[in-house]
Structure 1
Amino acid sequence: MKTLSFLLIIVLLNLAVAVLCADKYSRYDFPPGFVFGSATSAYQVEGAASEDGRTPSIWDTFAHCGYANGATGDVAVDQYHKYKEDVKLMAEMGLDAYRFSISWSRLIPNGRGLLNPKGVQYYNNLINELVSHGIQPHVTLNNADLPQALEDEYGGWINRRIVKDFTAYADVCFREFGDRVSYWITVNEPNVFAIGGYDQGVVPPRHCSSPFGVNCTRGDSSSEPYIVVHNILLAHASASRLYKRKYQEKQNGFIGISIYTFGVVSSTNSTEDAMAAQRMNDFYIGWIANPLVFGDYPDIMKKLVGTRIPAFSNHESELVKGSFDYFGVIHYTTCYIQDDPGSLALKQRDFNIDVAAKIMNMGDIFLDSEFPIYPWGLQGVLEYVKQMYGNPPVYIVENGQRIRRNSTLEDTSRVEYLHAYIGSVLDAVRNGSDTRGYFSWSFLDVLEILDGYRSSFGFYYVDLDDPDLKRQPKLSSYWYSHFLKGGSVSPDKVIELKTNFSALSHGHFFH
């Protein structure tokens, strides 16, 4: 397997840092057919958690134990009942596409076996509503909400039995919805799902072990994250091969997987820090992408993790290799990396110790503070994927700014973030990246996995104290709509929109 040397990668990343993102642009500067949309996921928006035959997922269990800052998705923002209203808002905004996920336990309540007709009907209704308004449905099959029934029966993702059940679930989705859905993601960000759920224990299903996790009662931080990702990759490959064999020619769709990415920059010009930055990319991006492109994990992972990372058989390697049509890139922020050789000497290891790198100057991604605006970090990720993996098609399936909820409709920092990051995508495309779409997170203020409703990412504020859960547009929704409808955007346009919005909303602030 031929890969770029880590020094060349660092050069490329530093080059990306030096490039300023496009300042003034419009959507017409992007290639024809470039898709702009927004995203949510099932448990975060649907609500109706116990209605019409849906059963609990591991996220329900997690939330009901109080781990999502005391919030649950029992009601969320009730898109289950308000989907027509939401799709109308999407159409008015001018979205090309809407990315959502399917609740496996709504569709197949026991995880396998009999379908829930009302679950099938809901997703048919949502998809038909989108299509009738000219909005492309982009569907994620699983976003951290495995049916609790499968978790209870055999441990869910830590058991290879999940491959068969996931493939059967995917088959149902392709069969029922694939005549109208052309873009599929199998599993959302398996890298951080495995780290959060099986190393640190901060997301469902809260597996971890001392001293790495927090208040976990089960799990093994040193091995389970690697087992989980291995089984996810096998499940993805199985579902992808099924799709390509049985559905793709007739439905003309595309299938991929999403990867959570950081922009990665070495803290100094030292060789040690440069190597640590490359390890960070190998352990976060390469963990997922290398098997899909080359058929195996990065060499450095196998060297440092040893027998704790499962090995692909020759047959499995061939199944996983090439089992994607595109990568979904998830990106929010950038980190500076410093070598941490002392961590390699520890006998007990978890994922972050295996990387042997310190993350510097990023802040806490788990708090409700705003992300620093480092658009060159996303540009660097897209350049890295282009150079390292042969420039595969990419859709940026999540990118957005977090602000404190209930602060203001005048979310200027989100507008500034969007302007900078979409501009960086344009620069990456102009530099040859085969990036084909951009989805902001999120369309509405939704339940967030770690802090519930404490922070928000949405274009629309949702008043949780209003029985009707009224949606109210923020400044960012006007900015994105202006851009989506062909208007040029620039720092001056931000000022102009802000002035007009202030007059429209009378500077209304929430309690």
Structure 2
Amino acid sequence: MTMRVKQLRHIFTVIMLVFPVLVGSIRRTDFPDTFVFGSGSSAYQVEGAAFEDGRTPSIWDTFAHAGEYGGATADVSCDAYHKYKEDVKLMADTGLEGYRFSISWSRLIPNGRGPVNPKGLQYYHNLIDEIVSHGIQPHVTLCHSDLPQALEDEYGGWISRRIIDDFTAYADVCFKEFGDRVLHWTTLNEANVFALGGYDNGMTPPNHCSPPFGMRPCPIGNSSTEPYIAGHNLLLAHSAVVRLYRRKYTSIQHGSVGLNLFAFWSLPYTNKTVDVLAAQRASDFYLGWFANPLIFGDYPHIMKTNAGSRLPKFTREESKQVKGAIDFIALNHYMTVRVKDRSTSLENDIRDFSADAALEFILTTQGATPPGMFQVTEPGLQGALEYFKQNYGNPPMYIHENGQMTPRNATLNDTSRIEYLQAYIGNLLDAVRNGSNVKGYFTWSFLDCFELLGAYRSGFGLYYVDLNDKELTRYPKLSAHWYSNFLKGKGFKDSVVLQTEDKLYSSQ
């Protein structure tokens, strides 16, 4: 244990906190018994062991090693590859009902296709067995922004249709090997943001963009076309995997396969008609981009109008394949945004996705203290879920990520995160009571880990991981104990926590 953590624990020795009540005395029992509460991670962000036991680089490794995070990488990170038993025990002690994690494609199949890596295969067998043995549901994502670099080098990854067969073959291995224990599969994490960050503004792997749209220098790319091409191939690959599962595994394994999207809840900046329409465009472009094809078989009309020939067209067979290729839709939701019209962008000779959307996001978290924190402003889970209920026939939904970003440090007294979770879980309960077909909720994240945008500068975790300690010791934040109390039956009004030198005591 580092000196700083020792000092902080000593400071907390006699602190008693009575958490503010934001949404009344909500309890776990207010949700259906079949509803699952959990927390999550992803392979690159927590596993470490980047060059061990046959694993090869992913596009995220390449992005980090190119210096995009000022020298920080996830080569070691939380070392969950070696510490998975300890972590699963923490999950069980916390009371998690489900754990969402991803499989590293390049650990399981190092070349992206072909032979399976026996050591990688054994790791995931061991991890899943450990999770299941503790009575926790495994919810598995196949690709969480970490395409094998070998496929990126060979044919350009997601901008080539060759990816469809390779992704389907990879999924087939996962279903065959793990599907007897894994019933909840997600093909892709934040498909919409992956296409935009990776192929429009270049902020995320694989760092494609073109002037004047890139937010950082990119070695390659075309911001006007590649986001749409990548998005199209993501949809075709996802639907191919769903069709494979239904044809080959559903009758035996009885699982489900869904897609994950990043979802702001968008409200108009003013009550002017142009801003109201802009808020609708935000939903069409950022959610309808993927949801419309999966439910109706084609892109939203406004996208086809504004993007024109740069947006790929579904053939009749593709439309048939994509339509209905969804067992659930999962959302990563963190905040509400206000949307302002920017239709003048449609006058530009060269446009990217954002210019086609013709709007501007006004974050309602501006002015947060400390900087970058996701404050409790206008919880939008109910709005986002109601949108899918009204526009897409109320499909089964999961909230895969929801949590508060704070500067990453050893401050375990994270009352702001507790306030955030209280507000959003209360908002979620409103949605459930209003008939939204939502099946589960996962906090992001279980551990402070390597973040896509902030590396180790920011943290979302219920548990702090001391990176200066060679043991990478995990320490529960107050939010971990609050969430544990909630999962074990205590209501929000009952959360009284006493910190002592050795452990946390909670009482009603």
**What band does the TM-score fall into relative to the shorter chain?**
over 0.9
Render the CA deviation track for 1:162-217: whole Å, top value 9, x for unaligned. Answer: 00000000000000000000000001111001111100001000000001002112
Render the CA deviation track for 1:250-289: whole Å, top value 9, x for unaligned. Answer: 0010100001000110011111111000000000110010
* Whole-angstrom distance in 2 between the partners of 1:422 and 1:503: 30
Q: Return the match for 1:453 from 453, 456, 468.
A: 456
1:333 is aligned to: 335
Q: Is residue 2:372 matched to residue 1:373?
A: no
Q: CA deviation at 1:361?
A: 3.6
* Whole-angstrom distance in 2 between the partners of 1:24 and 1:421: 14
Render the CA deviation track for 1:10-53: whole Å, top value 9, x for unaligned. Answer: xxxxxxxxxx9843210100112100000000000000000000
1:347 is aligned to: 349
1:187 is aligned to: 188
Q: Return the match for 2:281 from 263, 279, 282.
A: 279
The one-letter amino acid of 1:308's match is R
1:74 is aligned to: 75
SS at match of 2:185: strand
Equivalent runs, 1:356-505 vs 2, <5 Å: 356-363=358-365, 369-490=372-493, 493-494=494-495, 496-497=496-497, 500-501=498-499
Q: Is the 8 A contact 1:410 1:502 kept in 2?
A: no
* Whole-angstrom distance in 1 between the partners of 2:380 and 2:499: 30
User: Against the structure 1 CA distance between its residues 335 and 189, is the aligned structure 2 distance closer, same or farther, given a 3 Å change threshold?
Assistant: same
1:60 is aligned to: 61
The one-letter amino acid of 1:372's match is Q
* Whole-angstrom distance in 2 between the partners of 1:92 and 1:202: 37
Q: Is the 8 A contact 1:69 1:451 kept in 2?
A: no
Q: CA deviation at 1:407?
A: 4.7
* Whole-angstrom distance in 2 between the partners of 1:326 and 1:501: 40
Render the CA deviation track for 1:219-257: whole Å, top value 9, x for unaligned. Answer: 000110000010000000000000011001100101000
Q: Is the 8 A contact 2:99 2:139 kept in 1?
A: yes
Q: CA deviation at 1:436?
A: 0.7
The one-letter amino acid of 2:490's match is G
1:125 is aligned to: 126
1:110 is aligned to: 111
* Whole-angstrom distance in 1 between the partners of 2:285 and 2:235: 15
Runs of 4+, deviation exceeding 6 Å: 502-506
SS at match of 1:465: coil
SS at match of 1:268: coil
Q: Is the 8 A contact 1:378 1:425 kept in 2?
A: yes
1:149 is aligned to: 150
Q: CA deviation at 1:502?
A: 7.1
* Whole-angstrom distance in 2 between the partners of 1:341 and 1:231: 28
Equivalent runs, 1:83-232 vs 2, <5 Å: 83-213=84-214, 214-232=216-234
1:8 is aligned to: none
1:289 is aligned to: 291
* Whole-angstrom distance in 2 between the partners of 1:73 and 1:245: 37
The one-letter amino acid of 2:306's match is L
* Whole-angstrom distance in 1 between the partners of 2:193 and 2:144: 11
SS at match of 1:172: helix
User: Against the structure 1 CA distance between its residues 418 and 158, is the aligned structure 2 distance closer, same or farther, given a 3 Å change threshold?
Assistant: same
Q: CA deviation at 1:67?
A: 0.9
Q: Is the 8 A contact 1:393 1:434 kept in 2?
A: yes
* Whole-angstrom distance in 1 between the partners of 2:71 and 2:421: 30
Q: CA deviation at 1:504?
A: 6.6
* Whole-angstrom distance in 1 between the partners of 2:365 and 2:334: 12
Q: CA deviation at 1:376?
A: 3.2
* Whole-angstrom distance in 1 between the partners of 2:56 and 2:213: 31
Q: Is residue 2:24 matched to residue 1:26?
A: no
* Whole-angstrom distance in 1 between the partners of 2:257 and 2:91: 24
Q: CA deviation at 1:139?
A: 0.2
* Whole-angstrom distance in 1 between the partners of 2:156 and 2:363: 37
Q: CA deviation at 1:375?
A: 4.9
* Whole-angstrom distance in 2 between the partners of 1:503 and 1:123: 36
Q: Is the 8 A contact 1:22 1:426 kept in 2?
A: no
Q: Is the 8 A contact 2:22 2:419 kept in 1?
A: no
User: Against the structure 1 CA distance between its residues 398 and 486, is the aligned structure 2 distance closer, same or farther, given a 3 Å change threshold?
Assistant: same
Tell me how large the CA RMSD over aligned residues is.
1.7
Q: Is the 8 A contact 1:98 1:135 kept in 2?
A: yes
Q: CA deviation at 1:69?
A: 3.9
User: Against the structure 1 CA distance between its residues 417 and 504, is the aligned structure 2 distance closer, same or farther, given a 3 Å change threshold?
Assistant: farther
Render the CA deviation track for 1:317-344: whole Å, top value 9, x for unaligned. Answer: 0100111110111101111011112111
* Whole-angstrom distance in 1 between the partners of 2:307 and 2:69: 31
Q: Is the 8 A contact 2:365 2:377 kept in 1?
A: no
1:10 is aligned to: none
Render the CA deviation track for 1:62-82: whole Å, top value 9, x for unaligned. Answer: 010111342111101000000
The one-letter amino acid of 1:100's match is F
* Whole-angstrom distance in 2 between the partners of 1:270 and 1:195: 28
Equivalent runs, 1:304-315 vs 2, <5 Å: 304-315=306-317
Q: Is the 8 A contact 1:22 1:427 kept in 2?
A: no
TM-score (norm 2): 0.93
2:3 is aligned to: none
Q: CA deviation at 1:364?
A: 7.1
SS at match of 1:66: helix
The one-letter amino acid of 1:277's match is A
Q: Is the 8 A contact 2:399 2:442 kept in 1?
A: yes
Q: CA deviation at 1:373?
A: 1.0
SS at match of 1:53: coil
Corresponding residue pairs, total:
482
SS at match of 2:39: strand
The one-letter amino acid of 2:333's match is H
User: Against the structure 1 CA distance between its residues 341 and 375, is the aligned structure 2 distance closer, same or farther, given a 3 Å change threshold?
Assistant: closer
Q: Is the 8 A contact 1:68 1:448 kept in 2?
A: no
What are structure 2's unaligned runs of at least 5 residues? 1-20
The one-letter amino acid of 1:138's match is H
